[in-house]
Amino acid sequence: MNTNPKQTLKNKIMIIERMKNIAESSPTEINKSLLNAYHSDVEWRGFYPLEDLKGLKALEVKLWRPLLQAFPDLERRNNIVIGGDFNNKSFVGTVGHLTGTFKQPWFDIPATNKTVHLRTCEFHQIKNEKIIQSHMLIDVMDFIRQAGFWPINKSLGIEEMWPGPITGDGIVLEEQDPEVSQKTLEQALDMQKTLGDYKPETTANITDEQLRKELLNHPQKEYWHPKMMWYGPCGIGTGRGLSGFVDHHQLPFRKTFRDRDYWTIGHYVEIGDGKYSATSGWHSIVSKHGSKEWLGYNPTGNSITMKVMDFYLHDEGLIRENWVPIDILHILKQMDVDVIQMIREKK
């Protein structure tokens, strides 16, 4: 929750300024910008194929310098900036895009000389006015799509640039009432608990029609707004309303991953900030790849872990919008589908 509104506001302003400076640094300034934002021994936990990095040098060499070379006019666009405390740690969470002209290859994807919007979602842990740990997901599959490739099976939902909140107030730069923030977070956690506790798909011989009916009448329906939007990562896509969420993600997901555990590892962050809340686990789900309905690949039986973030807008007493970054390339690699290698072979 937002236990110290004044400090949370200060942290958010700091993240906005310093992450903008990093994204818009010149090659000669990037080291200085990173040093200003991060502790020297920062732990950066990221997306496939980068995975995890330790220290400023690794962050510069592996992530930011290649990004700035590939997109020399890069700029940062925030849609959501929220903050709060969890387990005596202070966090700022963001949803937005890194936008630039794709001038040089990145991850061996050929440059297009066209505009690309890199969907970017982050949680930064702040200690002594610098970032001590970052979790960052860039939707690399969506980047690949914008670069003109589609090497994977067709999405069930719609692929699009994620919009900002319908209420237009996602960058929260006013102090919020801690009690309101706590209630907002509790609503999200209560909804998530219904998802973890309720498993009709484990019933023997349940049909797709029966499972769909169960999910549409699932206790989750008490939490979602009638006009809810569920924004999934590239490879899943966006769904509208509970039926869109069920048809384009939840039903195939539950059929493919019947044997799953949400809570063994748990969340590293849970925050509420006014009408927004956010949670993330790293990894938040452990399961076995048991069928082909979700993403369309034949079951491998492999054990799968998932890097997932959830950002929620609570409006009119319900959850109105849900932005859900998931590291799809990381999941596919565990399913023996190496998307980056597929692109290399097609070039």
| Three-class secondary structure assignment of the chain | CCCCHHHHHHHHHHHHHHHHHHHCCCCCCHHHHHHHHEEEEEEEECCCCCCEEECHHHHHHHHHHHHHHHCCCCEEEEEEEEEEEECCEEEEEEEEEEEEECCCCECCECCCCCEEEEEEEEEEEEECCEEEEEEEEECHHHHHHHCCCCCCCCCCCECCCCCCCCCCCCECCCCCCHHHHHHHHHHHHHHHHHHHHCCHHHCCCCCHHHHHHHHHCCHHHHCEEEEEEEECCCCCCEEEHHHHHHHHHHHHHHHHCCCEECCCCCEEEEEEECCEEEEEEEEEEEEECCCCCCCCCCCCCCEEEEEEEEEEEEECCEEEEEECCECHHHHHHHCCCCHHHHHHHHC
pLDDT tens digits, residue range 1-48?
A: 556 889 999 999 999 999 999 999 998 999 999 999 999 999 999 999
Task: Flag residues of the chain having pLDDT under 50.
Answer: none
Q: What is the pLDDT of residue 264?
A: 63
pLDDT digits (tens, 9 = 90+) for 40-68: 999 999 999 998 999 999 999 999 999 99
Q: Report pLDDT for 51.
A: 85
How confident is the model at residue 14, as a pLDDT? 98
